[in-house]
Amino acid sequence: MNPDPHDLSALEKALGHRFACRGLLEQALTHASYARERESQNAAEGFPAAAADNEQMEFLGDAVLGFVVSRELFQGFPEYQEGELSKLRAHLVSASHLLRPARELELGQYLRLGRGEERSGGRSKVTLLVDALEAVIAALFLDAGLDVAHRFIQQSILEPGLAEVHQDGSSKLPVIDYKSALQEAVHASGRSQPRYVLIKEEGPDHRKVFTMEAQVPAAPNGDKGFARRAQGNTKKLAEQRAARAAWDFLQSLKRGPEAEDTDPPSDFSPPS
């Protein structure tokens, strides 16, 4: 059952906050196309007046979201370097990640759109939904302060995002893109770039299992080349997992001999 777009009480309940100034929430849901139509209508009726939209609120909400996520990552993962924190923050505030909470709140049903945006399917457009979510964060901040906005971000955006990252059961927060991380690591060690080779493809078309091998060449300091293999139901996933295994081994080399690798690397020499 779709929510009543004129009744914001259900949205307030989903947000966990009853607005003292309901107008802030209404503005957060008002697209510029609707505001411009209202202005034209006002002018035609002889009462020219500006109509507020959510563009400036989107700007503020983006800043509040970035601050809260940055602070939580800074406090929660002190062992991470700036580059790792930046990558994780970028993932958590990306449009692809913010789309989920926007849809869970059913923001598309509440949006105030101009006729053109309505006809073009604006209620389901990713950009409009994400912009509205950021504007709603600004509305929470302006109406009740940082603590309320922080609680919403923590519960609806940050915790689910970190849970997705942890879905492999790892107790340590992983790097989001291990292929990029491995590329940076081998470059820092003076090695040539890693290669990814399809070793095996098994199973029926609807349940394929791919085995990929990440091959890391020898280093100028004499460290041998090595390879790591991993499986996944897509080549991309298998590559990421193989890259992670190779990246983990390179990190163990940095930590020294006390960080013994439980899966010794196979020697690898790249083909000539």
Q: Considering the chain, what percentage of its residues have pLDDT values greater than 90? A: 50
What pLDDT is recorded for position 4?
53
Q: Do 83 and 214 belong together in one domain?
A: no
pLDDT at 57 over 90: yes
Cα–Cα distance, 229 to 247 (Å, whole number): 12
What pLDDT is recorded for position 242?
92
Does residue 1 fall inside a structural domain? no
Active-site residue among 58, 72, 134, 213?
134
Q: What is the mean pLDDT of residues 159-178?
A: 62
Angle between helical axes of 126-144 and 146-153 (0-180°, round to 10): 140
The residue range of the domain holding 220 is 178-267
134 is catalytic: yes
Q: Which residue has the higher pLDDT, 164 or 199?
A: 199
- Arithmetic mean of pLDDT over the chain: 84
Structure tokens at 157: 């955006």
pLDDT tens-digit series, residues 132-163: 999 999 999 999 999 999 999 999 999 888 87
**How many domains would you assign to the chain?**
2
Strand residues in the chain grouped as ranges (E)? 195-202, 209-216, 226-232, 266-267
What pLDDT is recorded for position 77?
78
Cα–Cα distance, 18 to 134 (Å, whole number): 18
Give the count of beta carbons closer than 10 Å to the beta carbon of residue 98: 23
User: pTM here?
Assistant: 0.62
Mapping DSSP to helix (H, G, I), strand (E, B) and coil, where does residue 138 land?
helix
Q: Do 89 and 189 belong together in one domain?
A: no
Q: Do 152 and 249 belong together in one domain?
A: no
- Of the candidates 207, 219, 244, 209, the residue with the CA atom closest to the CA atom of residue 229: 244
Q: Do 36 and 152 belong together in one domain?
A: yes
62 is catalytic: yes
Mapping DSSP to helix (H, G, I), strand (E, B) and coil, where does residue 266 land?
strand
User: Is the CB of residue 212 less than 8 Å from the CB of residue 235?
Assistant: yes
Bridge partners, residue 214, by sequence: 196, 228
pLDDT at 176 over 60: no
Structure tokens at 2: 């779709």
Q: Do 161 and 182 belong together in one domain?
A: no
Last residue of a domain, one of 136, 165, 194: 165
**The domain that contains 209 carries what CATH number?**
3.30.160.20
Q: Which residue has the higher pLDDT, 161 or 255?
A: 161
The whole-angstrom distance between residue 81's C-alpha and the CA centroid of its chain comes to 19
Q: Under the phi-then-psi rule, with left for phi > 0, alpha for psi from -120 to 50, and beta for the rest, what region is 17?
A: beta
Structure tokens at 227: 């390879």
Q: Which of 62-71, 82-91, 247-256 has the highest mean pLDDT?
A: 62-71
* Greatest pairwise CA separation for the chain in angstroms: 82
Q: Which residue has the higher pLDDT, 187 or 30?
A: 30
Does residue 272 fall inside a structural domain? no
Last residue of a domain, one of 139, 165, 191: 165
